């Protein structure tokens, strides 16, 4: 049982870190190694100064939906972890981690919706100035998709996990 508890805790922390990186990092769409776009900024690498020059992304309804859903996913997963720690020390023997599991499942569903919207509506989200066929999805987009099954699985594990002492 101790190994399962350590596994679930480690899985939770890994998915939380991956969600945070996917939400905040700058690589949801990449045109080449010199230009990319994320949920917040469109960035271009300047060779003369060796720095990234970033401008805010054009605010569309679809982009705002993805932003909100990814932030909600991070919030749900964070709340889930804090509630899990609280339940771990205060819950009576034999109790189930229902609320923790439900928060994780909601985090997975919100990340799923965000990644799905970005997949289906990237033509509406990305700037009009670039040709989409010359670009590809970046690692943050892939991280968001990888988080979905991990969050759902950890949520199901939490729901079935009983506190034993």
- Model confidence over 85-139: pLDDT tens digits? 898 888 777 677 889 999 999 999 999 999 999 999 888 887 665 666 678 888 8
Model confidence, pTM? 0.87
**Alpha-helical runs (H) found in the chain:** 2-24, 61-90, 98-120, 122-125, 139-160
**Domain spans of the chain, in order of start:** 1-31+60-163
pLDDT of amino acid 147 = 94
- pLDDT for 82 equals 94
Q: Which residues contact 123 (CB under 8 A, 6 or more apart)?
A: 132
Cβ pair 73, 111 in contact under 8 A: yes
Answer yes or no: are the C-beta atoms of 158 and 101 closer than 8 Å. Answer: yes
Q: What kind of fold does domain 1-31+60-163 have according to CATH? A: Butyryl-CoA Dehydrogenase, subunit A; domain 3 (1.20.140)
Mean pLDDT, range 150-163, rounded to an integer: 87
Sign, Cα dihedral of 80, 82, 85, 87: negative
Phi then psi dihedrals of residue 125, to 5 deg: -85, -40
Those residues with Cβ within 8 angstroms of residue 47's Cβ, 6 or more apart along the chain or in another chain: 34
Residue position matching structure tokens 């923790």: 100
Alpha carbon distance, N-terminus to C-terminus of the chain: 10
* pLDDT top residue among 150 and 88: 150
pLDDT at 65 over 90: yes
- Cα-to-chain-centroid distance, residue 162: 27
Q: Which residue has the higher pLDDT, 164 or 33?
A: 33
């Amino acid at each position: 049982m101790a190994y399962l508890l350590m596994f679930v805790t480690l899985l939770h922390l890994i998915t939380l870190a991956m969600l945070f990186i996917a939400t905040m990092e700058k690589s949801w769409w990449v045109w080449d190694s010199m230009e990319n776009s994320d949920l917040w900024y469109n960035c271009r690498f300047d060779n003369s100064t060796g720095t990234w020059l970033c401008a805010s992304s054009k605010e569309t309804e679809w982009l705002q939906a993805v932003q909100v859903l990814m932030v909600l996913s991070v919030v749900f997963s964070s709340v889930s972890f804090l509630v899990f720690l609280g339940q771990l020390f205060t819950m009576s023997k034999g109790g189930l981690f229902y609320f923790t599991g439900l928060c994780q499942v909601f985090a997975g569903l919100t990340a799923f919706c965000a990644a799905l919207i970005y997949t289906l509506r990237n033509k509406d989200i990305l700037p009009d100035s670039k040709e989409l066929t010359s670009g590809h999805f970046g690692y943050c987009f892939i991280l968001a998709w990888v988080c979905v099954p991990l969050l759902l699985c950890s949520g199901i594990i939490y729901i079935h996990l009983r506190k034993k002492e």
